[in-house]
Amino acid sequence: MSSIFAKIIRREIPSEILLENEHVIAIKDINPVAPIHILIITKKQIPSIQELADEDSFLLHEVTKAAKALAKKLNLSHYRLLTNCGEDAGQTVFHLHFHLISGRVLEGMA
């Protein structure tokens, strides 16, 4: 089944793309929780980090490289990079993605 992010990757649904390469795409979140809220999405459709196979672990490096490039491009002094894994953790789209959140002081995780 095709996720909403797969449709975004295929340009079937519009989005504001900030970075894209062979492995990942970074878009603005449609419902931002901070002035900067970017989703870094793996192009490979993996449901969550829990299903990430060893041979795909390089994708985590691709995600961190993208986060660093975005932080540099947007001149971010600080940011939070996180992934929700499972419904009870707040995951709503079952296609591996990381939230890059910044643009304000971020409260503790509590």
Query: Residue 34 corresponds to which tokens in the numbers above?
Result: 């901070």
Of the ranges 26-34, 51-59, 60-68, 69-77, which one interacts with ligand 5GP (CB under 6 A)?
26-34
The whole-angstrom separation of Cα 110 and Cα 93 is 23
Among 25-33, 50-58, 59-67, 73-81, the segment contacting ligand 5GP (CB under 6 A): 25-33
- Strands of the chain, DSSP E: 17-20, 24-28, 36-42, 80-82, 97-102
Specify whether 97 is catalytic.
yes
Can residue 38 be called a binding residue for ligand 5GP (CB under 6 A)?
no
Chain positions contacting ligand 5GP, by CB under 6 A:
4, 13, 15, 27-31, 39, 84, 90-93
